[in-house]
């Protein structure tokens, strides 16, 4: 996933909204998380394991609605390739997750899994599928 929180909160330079660019690690949140003043200040978030997914999904939905310029997430909804752009990213992140697992690289596996989940949430949002629908489907299986 993408993280463009201000450098003051991460200790790193956030120079790009591209999740694959140097200086913008893709491991902890949406590229636009810094735009949501409530996201980092929710004291209950640490107590609720679903909170991060809920916040990320809500931010993705906002980017779809508002399409702010310079937002990586928004660019996935407006890409010249259409939905194929995010579907290609989903495939790429799937492959990278598989390779990290094959290489037994736990840190890379977590990082790539975060990218995979982020791009999957973008695809769900593109198709107007709610996070609650995904949760309901998973609950039916367990």
Per-residue pLDDT of 74-105, as tens digits, reads 999 999 999 999 999 999 999 999 999 999 99
The CATH number that domain 7-141 falls under is: 1.10.287.1080
Task: Give Cα separations from 25 to 22, 55, 112, 139 (angstroms).
Answer: 7, 19, 11, 32
Model confidence at 50, in pLDDT bands (50, 70, 90)?
A: confident
Q: Please state whether the predicted TM-score (pTM) of the whole model is above 0.85.
A: no
Average pLDDT for the chain: 78
Q: What residue ranges do the domains of the chain occupy?
A: 7-141
Identify whether the C-beta of residue 123 lies closer than 8 Å to the C-beta of residue 87: yes
């Amino acid at each position: 996933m993408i993280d463009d929180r201000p450098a003051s909160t991460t200790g790193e330079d956030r120079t790009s909204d591209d999740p694959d660019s140097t200086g913008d690690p893709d491991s902890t949140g949406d590229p636009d998380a810094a735009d949501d003043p409530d996201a980092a200040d929710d004291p209950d978030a640490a107590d609720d394991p679903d909170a991060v997914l809920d916040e990320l999904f809500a931010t993705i939905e906002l980017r779809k609605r508002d399409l702010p310029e310079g937002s990586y997430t928004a660019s996935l909804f407006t890409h010249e390739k259409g939905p194929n752009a995010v579907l290609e990213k989903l495939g790429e992140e799937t492959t990278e997750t598989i390779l990290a697992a094959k290489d037994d690289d736990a840190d890379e596996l977590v990082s790539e899994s975060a990218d995979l989940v982020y791009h999957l949430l973008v695809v769900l949002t593109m198709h107007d599928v709610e996070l609650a629908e995904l949760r309901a489907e998973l609950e039916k299986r367990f």
